[in-house]
């Protein structure tokens, strides 16, 4: 069996951080949409898949790096159009309507992907420069995964700076906490809702594009994504930025370590973590008391 | 102020509701919708089950295309016994749903025969119902030896190869090339994988190799980096993968980039997951049940007809459905009956079928396995590829022309079956 040593443990901990990057990106998108609009976007995984497919088409024409930027923008524009046309009229009704709508949307989008690109998976290769492994003596690690980690950290920091340092970001944060108050100050929230939906979708699409070279693309690639994102958001605390980051890291590490130490728990470990957190801190690790969620 | 508070909740949803609703939605997500592909009058009905969702769905898609092509070819020639053939395809999803769907096909749609499936877990569930209702069922895609042994059924016949056949096919090549050494296994954690690990680890042991360990991996795992780190620490001579479907693609892609130098082989090879991984992620020798570049009689014609209709070559799963459907319809034609008992007797009679391979195929009466050739294939040099589908060179047929087809089969001792009465 595997000889357990400090080095191997360290390798798995480091790998856990890379795994976490994927969870954090998914969770942040879901979290800001929920925080602002109050809709659990069950189509998150479908936008993740669409981002990957759009990049597959784009990279043939313009290369991987531009596709990594343009695909999420295109998918976000589509997302914003859907928000403005279909989701917006539902805000005044039962909150469940939004949920049902995104549930249906996810199925429709997956079928559309099947119709356009076929049900069988398609190859998606990383660019030549990112293939293979980086070697440091005994230690070898996938070059592409390091790039993916960089991409994820850049997206996360970019989003944080945007929310903290810009006027629009301030409106988003204020609007998430107390939309009524922001409206009373004379700031219309309609365009803010649309923008936030777009940003959340763009994050899902970036995650989709970054994941594609690791596994290729197939229409159901987003199916489990929404569930994982939901688990991370719940652990971190609804609406909490750093909560999602912390929870993503915890999930990445717990998945990575359970593979090393007790593989049968690899899949269940994140759900176990969620159950424990919900028992001890029902609001999630960094979840604050938000009036609108109580 | 109370009114204001209510208003400020705006479009919100409470935390409790969030959890409850999202949980419910996740459960509902498992349901799907049936597809009726063709409807004619007083037809012979073929019930077709295959996964359209989940990690085997990309293979299921080829299954549907293959079955449809076979049925249409029969109908163009005037049907069977003067009746049209109708194909009813259902998404089998998982063992629970598969069981419901097969009962629905038999009781509501009144199908005459059953065909299909890829997942061993679902296949075992289907075969139990087929036996209970006494409807002939041809397995076109699941490999567990158990279905040919301890859980064999009188009404089930196997066009798909058994795990032992896949293992012995590549195994004979591995022995010849002296690659029986220190192996490490990665195995899909469900019926198929468990059975395949049992068979492949037994093969290694019997031939004097060393088993360094096995990792049971949940299906639909998106990330293998942890497992690859682990196997790199073990430093085996060869990594033997007992994975299927999308999992095969994901693993192959991630293995190449992780800088793991160990040779790869595996307990099953389906072409589609290899196509999806892309030529750069592939290496080595693999075993194949059927490959579209096969030059044997009938194969080029099937490939051409399939390409013409669907714009891409058939995958081995499409071959399974195509050949399986033809065998069923030929059996109905030859025995001039759709009665299950007549069909079972005909299929058990040792009659041989054209299965688009170098040698014809016959069902072995005692376990209903189709005796047939398999192939060792080699990943092609990228520069020699004709198109994106052209990923293998056929090295040899196994067993060879002059050898018995029993050579790669599980023996009666390895996999005993007690056939129930008709």
DSSP assignment of B311-363: SSPPPHHHHHHHHHHHHHHHHHHHHT---HHHHHHHHHTT-EE--SSSS-EEE
Q: Residue A132: what pLDDT?
A: 83
Chain A nearest-CA distance from B61, in A, is 6
Alpha-carbon span A114 to B33, nearest angstrom: 15
Measured between alpha carbons, how far is A106 from A87 in angstroms, rounded to an integer? Answer: 13
- Report the candidate in A50, A222, A218 with the shortest Cα–Cα distance to residue B273: A218
Search chain A and give the residue with CA nearest B184.
A1
Dist CA B31 CA B17 (whole Å): 22
- Nearest chain A CA: its distance from B226 CA (Å): 6
pLDDT band at B1 (very low <50, low <70, confident <90, very high): very low
* pLDDT of B198 above 50: yes
Q: Rounded to whole angstroms, what are the CA distances from B406 to B164, B320, B345, B374?
A: 11, 20, 21, 12
Tell me the DSSP string of A54-90: HHHHHHHHH-HHHHHHHHHHHHHHHHHHHIIIIIGGG
Is residue B232 within 8 A of residue B256, CB to CB? The reply is: no
So what's the pLDDT on residue A293? 62
DSSP letters for A26-37: HHHHHHHHHHHH
Which residue is listed with tokens 């914003």? A80
pLDDT at B41 (0 to 100): 55
Enclosing H/E stretch for B35: strand B35-36
pLDDT, residue B6, reads 39
Average pLDDT, chain B: 90
**Which residue of B218, B226, B261 to mutate against A (max A Cβ within 10 Å)?**
B226
Q: Which of A40, A219, A263 sits opposite B22 (nearest CB)?
A: A40
* Residues A42, B61: C-beta atoms closer than 8 Å: no
Residues B254 and A144: their CA atoms lie apart, in Å, by 10
Tokens of A271: 């759900």
> Of A45-49, B7-11, B281-285, where does the model show the most confidence?
A45-49
Q: How far apart are CA B51 and CA B48, in angstroms?
A: 10
Q: Which of B6, B7, B22, B15 is nearest to A288 (CA)?
A: B15
Q: Rounded to whole angstroms, how far apart are CA atoms B327 and B67?
A: 11
DSSP E strand boundaries for B279-343: 285-288
Return the closest-CA partner of residue B398 out of B170, B164, B141: B170
Q: Is the Cβ pair A135, B259 closer than 8 Å?
A: yes
Is the confidence at residue B38, as pLDDT, over 60? no
C-alpha–C-alpha distance, residues A192 and A180, integer Å: 13
Say which residue the tokens 């025969």 belong to: B113
pLDDT tens sequence across B240-258: 999 988 899 999 989 988 8
| Tokens 């596994």 -> residue | A215
pLDDT at A4: 72
How far, CA to CA in Å, does B313 sit from each of A92, A117, B205, B246, B355? 51, 16, 38, 19, 17
Q: Is the peptide bond before B153 cis (omega within 30 degrees of 0)?
A: no
Averaged pLDDT for residues B344-363: 96
The three-class DSSP label of residue B378 is strand
Could you identify the residue written with the tokens 């041809």?
A: B138
Beta B392-398 vs B374-379: how paired, if at all?
Answer: antiparallel
Q: Give the three-state DSSP class for B105.
A: helix
Residue among A96, A125, A260 minimizing CB distance to B21: A96
Angle (deg, nearest 10), helices A241-261 and A143-165: 160
**What phi, psi does B264 have (nearest 5°)?**
-115, 145
B258 SS3 class: coil
- The rounded distance, in Å, linking the Cα atoms of A43 and A112 is 13
Residues 301 through 340 of chain B touching chain A, CB cutoff 8 Å:
315
Q: What is the mean pLDDT of chain A?
A: 90
Residue B45's H or E segment, with its range, is: strand B44-50
CB B394 within 8 A of CB B285: no
Note whether A132 contacts B22, CB cutoff 8 Å.
Answer: no
User: Which chain B residue's Cα is nearest to A110?
Assistant: B53
- The mean pLDDT value for A104-108 works out to 95
Please state, in angstroms and rounded to a whole number, the distance separating the CA atoms of residues B184 and B168: 18
Residue A2 binned pLDDT confidence (cut-offs 50, 70, 90): low
The number of C-alpha atoms within 13 Å of A161 and in the hemisphere containing its C-beta is 6
DSSP secondary structure letters along B163-217: HHHHHHHHHHHHHHTT--SEEEEEEESSHHHHHHHHHHHHHHHHTT-EEEEEEEE
Mean pLDDT across A154-170: 93
Closest residue of chain A to B58, computed from CA coordinates: A120
In this predicted structure, what is the pLDDT of residue B245?
87
Contact state of A121 with B273 under an 8 Å Cβ cutoff: yes
With contact defined as beta carbons under 8 Å apart, do B12 and A38 qualify? yes
3-state secondary structure at position B151: coil
Mutation site, A9, A48, A95, A128, interface B, largest B CB count within 10 A: A95
Q: What is the pLDDT of residue A187?
A: 87
Please indicate whether, in this complex, the C-beta atoms of B278 and A267 are within 8 angstroms of each other: no
pLDDT-wise least confident of A45-54, A126-135, B77-86:
A126-135
Q: Summarize pLDDT for B210-232 with one digit per residue, the tens.
A: 999 999 998 888 889 999 999 98
* DSSP H/E element including A136: strand A133-136
Provide mean pLDDT across the span B348-372. Answer: 96
User: Do the chains contact at B217 and A266, CB–CB below 8 Å?
Assistant: yes
Q: Inter-chain contact A121–B276, Cβ cutoff 8 Å?
A: yes
Q: What is the mean pLDDT of residues B320-336?
A: 97
**What is the sign of the dihedral through the CA atoms of B393, B394, B396 and B401?**
negative
Q: Please state, for a pLDDT cut of 70, what percent of chain A lies above it.
A: 97
pLDDT tens digits, A123-154 = 898 888 888 888 877 777 888 999 999 999 99
User: Helices (DSSP H) in chain A: which residue ranges?
Assistant: 6-37, 44-62, 64-82, 95-117, 143-165, 167-177, 179-184, 190-215, 223-236, 241-261, 269-280
Q: Give pLDDT, residue A181.
A: 86
Whole-number percent of chain B with pLDDT over 70 = 90
- Residues 333-352 of chain B whose Cβ lies under 8 A from any Cβ of chain A: none
**Structure confidence at residue A120 (pLDDT):** 82
Nearest to B14 among A142, A256, A293 (CB): A293
Q: Give the pLDDT confidence score for residue B10 in this predicted structure.
A: 44
> pLDDT tens, A164-222?
999 999 998 888 888 888 888 888 888 899 999 999 999 999 999 999 998 889 898 88
DSSP state of A293: G
> Which is nearest to B332 in space by CA: B147, B111, B153, B129?
B111
Distance of CA A35 to the CA centre of its chain: 14
pLDDT in tens, B127-186: 999 999 999 999 999 999 999 999 999 999 999 999 999 999 999 999 999 899 999 999
- Taking one residue from A and the other from B, the number of pairs with CB-CB distance under 8 angstroms is 198
Judged by CB atoms closer than 8 Å, whether chains meet at A120 and B272 is answered as: yes
Mean pLDDT of B266-281: 92
Of B53, B229, B258, the CB nearest to A220: B53
- Alpha-carbon span A103 to A114, nearest angstrom: 17
Look at residue B9 in the predicted model and tell me its pLDDT.
42
Cβ partners under 8 Å of residue A71, min gap 6: A51, A52, A54, A55, A58, A205, A209
**Which residues of chain A have a CB within 8 Å of the CB of B26?**
227, 230
- Say how far residue B95 (Cα) sits from the centre of its chain: 15
Q: What percent of chain A has pLDDT over 90?
A: 56
**Is there a contact between A192 and A175 (Cβ–Cβ < 8 Å)?**
yes
- Provide the chain B residues 196-215 that lie in CB contact (below 8 A) with chain A: 212-213, 215
- Nearest-angstrom CA–CA distance, B232 and B184: 10
pLDDT score recorded for residue A226: 83
Put simply, the answer to whether A140 touches B278 (Cβ < 8 Å) is no
In the prediction, which pLDDT does A126 show? Answer: 87
């Amino acid at each position: 069996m595997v000889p357990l040593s400090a080095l191997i443990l360290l390798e798995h901990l480091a790998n856990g951080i890379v795994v976490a990057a994927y969870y954090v990106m998914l969770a942040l998108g879901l979290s800001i949409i929920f925080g602002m609009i109050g809709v659990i976007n069950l189509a998150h995984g479908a936008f993740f898949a669409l981002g990957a497919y759009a990049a597959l088409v784009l990279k043939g024409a313009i290369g991987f790096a531009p596709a990594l930027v343009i695909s999420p923008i295109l998918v976000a524009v589509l997302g914003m159009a859907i928000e403005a046309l279909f989701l917006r009229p539902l805000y005044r009704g039962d909150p469940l309507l939004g949920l049902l709508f995104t549930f249906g949307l996810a199925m429709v989008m997956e079928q559309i992907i099947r119709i356009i690109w076929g049900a069988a998976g398609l190859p998606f290769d990383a660019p030549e420069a990112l293939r293979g492994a980086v070697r440091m003596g005994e230690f070898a690690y996938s070059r592409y995964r390091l790039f993916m980690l960089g991409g994820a950290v850049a997206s996360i920091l970019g989003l944080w700076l945007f929310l903290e340092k810009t006027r629009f970001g301030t409106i988003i944060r204020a609007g998430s906490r107390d939309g009524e108050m922001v409206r009373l100050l004379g700031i219309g929230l309609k365009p803010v809702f649309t923008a936030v939906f777009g940003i959340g979708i763009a994050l899902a699409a970036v995650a989709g594009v970054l994941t594609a070279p690791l596994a290729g693309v197939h229409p159901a690639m987003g199916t489990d994504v929404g569930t994982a994102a939901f688990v991370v958001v719940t652990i971190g605390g609804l609406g909490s930025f750093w909560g999602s980051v912390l929870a993503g890291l915890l999930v990445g590490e717990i998945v990575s370590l359970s593979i090393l130490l007790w593989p049968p728990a690899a899949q269940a470990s994140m759900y176990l973590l969620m159950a424990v957190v919900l028992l001890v801190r029902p609001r999630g690790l960094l979840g604050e008391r938000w009036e609108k969620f109580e | 102020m109370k009114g204001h508070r209510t208003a400020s909740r705006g479009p919100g949803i409470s935390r409790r509701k969030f959890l409850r609703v999202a949980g419910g939605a996740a459960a509902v997500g498992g349901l799907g919708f049936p597809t009726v592909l063709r409807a004619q009058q007083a037809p012979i009905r073929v019930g077709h089950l295959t996964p359209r969702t989940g990690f085997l769905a990309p293979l299921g898609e080829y299954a549907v295309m293959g079955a449809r092509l076979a049925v249409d070819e029969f109908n163009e020639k005037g049907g069977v016994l003067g009746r049209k053939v109708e194909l009813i395809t259902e998404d089998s999803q998982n063992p629970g749903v598969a069981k419901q769907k097969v009962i629905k096909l038999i009781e509501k749609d009144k199908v005459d025969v059953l065909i299909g499936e890829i997942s061993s877990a679902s296949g075992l569930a289907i075969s139990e119902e087929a036996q209970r209702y006494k409807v002939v069922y041809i397995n076109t895609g699941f490999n567990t030896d158990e279905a040919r042994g301890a859980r064999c059924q009188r009404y089930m016949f196997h066009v798909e190869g058994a795990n032992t056949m896949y293992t012995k096919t590549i195994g004979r090549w591995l022995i010849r090339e002296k690659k029986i050494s220190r192996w490490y296994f990665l195995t899909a954690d469900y019926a198929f994988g468990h059975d395949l690990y049992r068979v492949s680890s037994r093969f290694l042991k019997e031939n004097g190799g060393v088993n360094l360990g096995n990792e049971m991996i949940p299906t639909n795992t998106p990330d293998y980096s942890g497992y690859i780190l682990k196997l790199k620490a073990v430093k085996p001579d060869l990594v033997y993968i007992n994975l299927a479907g999308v999992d095969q693609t994901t693993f192959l892609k991630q293995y190449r980039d992780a800088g793991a130098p160990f040779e790869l082989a595996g307990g099953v090879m389906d072409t589609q997951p290899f196509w999806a991984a892309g030529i750069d992620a592939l290496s080595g020798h693999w075993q194949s049940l059927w490959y579209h570049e096969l030059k044997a009689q009938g194969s080029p014609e099937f490939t051409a007809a399939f390409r013409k209709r669907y714009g891409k070559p058939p995958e081995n799963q499409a071959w399974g459905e195509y050949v399986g459907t033809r065998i069923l319809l030929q059996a109905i034609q030859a025995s001039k009956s759709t009665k299950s008992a007549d069909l079972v007797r005909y299929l058990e009679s040792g009659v041989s079928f054209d299965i688009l391979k170098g040698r014809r195929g016959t069902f072995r009466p005692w376990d209903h396995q189709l005796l047939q050739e398999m192939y060792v294939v080699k990943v092609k040099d990228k520069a020699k590829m004709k198109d994106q589908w052209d990923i293998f060179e056929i090295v040899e047929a196994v067993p060879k022309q002059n050898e018995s087809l029993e050579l790669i089969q599980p023996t009666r001792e390895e996999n005993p079956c007690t056939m129930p009465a008709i």
